[in-house]
Amino acid sequence: MHRPIVSCALVVLSAGWLIAQPAAAQNQSTSPSVPDASTPNANVSDQKLDQAAAAIKNVQVVRNTYDQKVSAASPQEQTKIVTEANTAMQKAVTDQGLSVDEYNSIVQLAQNDPSVRERIVKRLGATEK
């Protein structure tokens, strides 16, 4: 039972981390010039991209906080902490006006579409100022 919770947390955390690492995500793209055939919703609104960028930053903060807590916790406490982390990550996304599914779709799209990825990375850079 502990594994599925950890796996879910890792998927969400990894998605946020990958989008913030454009070089790593770009290396995963096998064919950046391929049209949007596999990503039908490539025309994501600027508002949704703003929300996704803010959510990514918030998820990263949650990840950093809970990574430290999990590594310092006993095995018995880790399951509870991972559950708390999942809830906090969901809240980090929904507080920005996105559902978790919308967030995951946008992150996946950004991983597959360099133009969307670039638009999000620009927003991430703008929010750090």
Within a domain: 39: no
Domain with 60 in it: 2-27+45-127
In a domain, 35, yes or no: no
CA–CA separation, 101 and 12 (whole Å): 10
pLDDT in tens, 96-106: 999 999 999 99
Q: Residue 33: inside a domain, yes or no? A: no
How much is the pTM?
0.66
118 part of a folded domain: yes
Give how many domains the chain has, as a whole number.
Answer: 1
81 CB contacts (<8 Å, ≥6 apart)?
Answer: 66, 69, 70, 73
**pLDDT tens, 5-46?**
444 444 444 454 444 444 333 333 433 333 343 444 468 899
Contacts of 119 (CB under 8 A, 6+ apart): 49
Work out the pLDDT band at 126, boundaries 50, 70, 90. confident
